[in-house]
Amino acid sequence: MKSKALVVTLVVLGSFLLAGIMLVMWGVGIYNGLVASNEQVNSHWSQVLNQYQRRIDLIPNLVETVKGYASHEKQTLENVVNARARVGQLTVTPEVLQNPQALRNFERAQGELSSALSRLMAIAENYPNLKANENFLQLQAQLEGTENRIAVERRRFNESVQYFNTRVRTFPHTLIARIGGFPPKAYFEAQPGAETPPKVKF
């Protein structure tokens, strides 16, 4: 009788232990999935930043080329340089992704730079020699390609944020997300007028 009770006790304890192990493994699986999704968001964010950095790197050469042909367009040139400086002063950390206001500030600064670049490119219409300059044409093509890549990377970023946010907000993932410290991420949002990309072709 005692041995039968011992067997039942061991079976019950074994069942609880097995259920506990399965619960822990389930939680670990969800946690690891959230880590992977978070890393994907961070990876796409770094690609967005890489493309914005590429655009910033093109600007000095572009400004110098335009200045050689249109030096009296001083205000337009200064606007581009100042907008670039404001973007360069932004501190962009992964925490920006958890702060919608910080991300909006980043977007606003990038939007101001896009607008200034658009005006800079538009003045080339008045300077046929500038429009025909090989260096300007190459910079124009590089800038257009960069603007396209920025749009693609922002879309990919938003897709990865959507996937991540869906996971951290649905049950039972939300329980592990809260325990593991995975808050939802902010999206890139279109700025007013952003549906029209900067014109860099004539």
* Cis previous bond, 172, omega within 30: yes
CB 17 within 8 A of CB 156: no
Task: Please tell me the pTM assigned to this model.
Answer: 0.79
SS3 127: coil
CA distance 127 to 202: 12
Q: Is the pLDDT of residue 101 over 90?
A: no
Could you read off the pLDDT of 112-135 as tens digits, one per residue? Answer: 999 998 888 888 778 888 878 888
CB 54 within 8 A of CB 84: no
Q: Quick one: DSSP state of residue 97?
A: G
Burial class (CB in 10 A: 0-12, 13-18, 19+), 137: middle
- Give the number of other Cβ atoms within 10 Å of residue 15's Cβ: 10
200 pLDDT band, cuts 50/70/90, is very low
Q: If we measure between CA atoms, which residue out of 156, 165, 177, 185 comes closest to residue 94?
A: 185
pLDDT at 193: 53
Domains and CATH numbers, the chain: 2-180 (1.20.1440.20)
Distances (CA, A) of 38 to 26, 169, 178: 18, 14, 14
Q: Is the pLDDT of residue 77 over 90?
A: no
